Amino acid sequence: MKAFIIDRYAKKEVGRIADVPEPDMQDTDVLVQVHAASVNLLDAKIRSGEFKLILPYRMPLTLGNDLAGTVLRVGASVTRFKAGDEVYARPDQDRIGSFAERIAVREDALALKPTNLSMEEAASVPLVALTAWQVLVETAQLKKGQRVLIHAGSGGVGTLAIQLAKHLGAFVATTTSTSNVEWVKALGADVVIDYRQQDFAAELSGYDVVLNSLGNDVLKKSLQVLKPGGQLISISGPPTPEFATEQGLRWPLKLVMRLLSRRIRKQAKQRSVRYSFVFMRAEGTQLSAITTLIEAGAIRPVVEQVLPFEATAEALAHVVSGRAKGKIVVKMR
């Protein structure tokens, strides 16, 4: 079958389309014919080797962390899906590879595709929606009336997180560029900070939660907007000792994680706030809950562009540029 692969870790590695073996099937797996897969910054970070100590993939590696498609067949232990079902998923972190014609996905990572979305729209959802859910619902336990700052509101995670936070009844502030201010307001943001003209730390205060997806400078400044007892939750690092434990990493890597996050954890403690790092995981039950919200119209995916499979390298380049407005999707069929 055809797949988009990399042969080595490198920042300048582009990737290529090649013939690869059919996926190995386990009893708990579902074989999916991929119709569409969305492109995430995570794909580029994996390609450059940023996660090679945590996720030691074998080369050549098929990239891709989101998919929507049709079930071809199921393993002997699978009970929730059957051939012909339309599904979507973020595959497990150690079994990525949705930039391919077919992929085997663990049953517990899958959910039925929302009936009101196309395959391309559905493919844009899993990773970013699960990230927003695991930050806002699972980690922050965001409550009605609380105040949350979501950085990079026009990005893939930001667009879904704004909508989910509003559904939960929160007051939402976000940051974006000048050209996207009105657009993210339309997604539901109550306050929009134009980072080209305003300093969010000077404009905002008394917040309960900050979702950070940007660099260390923004991470540190975000502490200033939180009230005592607030939570600073980052999906871009630095990782924490708790994350190392969750990943089952060996003690040398646990020590590295402790050192990387020591400063921000200390600064958070001095301000009486909590710092957490979230590396989203595949979770079909949560994705099913997200499906319910999508079908009810509470949240909707934002797709900027759909490109053919042959343009996967170009799609990745566009995402890396930081100019994507919502998600970029590649169409397999």
DSSP secondary structure letters along 20-53: -PPPP--TTEEEEEEEEEEE-HHHHHHHHTTTTT
Residues 104, 316: Cα–Cα separation, whole Å: 23
- Per residue in 228-257, pLDDT (tens digit) is 999 999 999 899 999 999 888 888 889 999
Q: What is the pLDDT of residue 239?
A: 93
Domain that holds residue 14: 2-125+301-331
8 A C-beta contact, residue 188 and residue 297: no
Same domain, 161 and 273: yes
Residue from 39, 109, 101 nearest 70 by CA:
101
Same domain, 33 and 149: no
- Per residue in 111-151, pLDDT (tens digit) is 999 999 999 999 999 999 999 999 999 999 999 999 999 99
282 part of a folded domain: no
Residue 85 is which amino acid?
Answer: D
Give the CATH number for residue 272.
Answer: 3.40.50.720
Same domain, 80 and 217: no
Q: What is the pLDDT of residue 324?
A: 78
- Quick one: average pLDDT of 258-282? 96
- Quick one: average pLDDT of 264-272? 97
96 part of a folded domain: yes
Same domain, 234 and 254: yes
pTM assigned to the model: 0.96
Mean pLDDT computed over every residue of the chain = 95
286 part of a folded domain: no
Same domain, 63 and 170: no
43 part of a folded domain: yes
Q: What is the 3-state secondary structure (H, E, C) of 295-325?
A: HCCCCCCCEEEEEEHHHHHHHHHHHHCCCCC
Same domain, 54 and 100: yes
8 A C-beta contact, residue 152 and residue 175: yes
Same domain, 65 and 194: no
- Per residue in 289-298, pLDDT (tens digit) is 999 999 999 9
Biggest alpha carbon distance in the chain? 58
8 A C-beta contact, residue 32 and residue 103: yes
- Quick one: average pLDDT of 202-226? 96
Same domain, 121 and 202: no
Question: Of residues 285 and 326, which shows the higher confidence score?
Answer: 285
Chain centroid to Cα 296, Å, comes to 22
Give the CATH number for residue 312.
Answer: 3.90.180.10
Q: What is the pLDDT of residue 12?
A: 84
Strand partners, 29: 106
Same domain, 273 and 138: yes
- As for how many domains the chain has, the answer is 2
Model confidence at 333: pLDDT above 80: no
Q: What is the pLDDT of residue 302?
A: 92
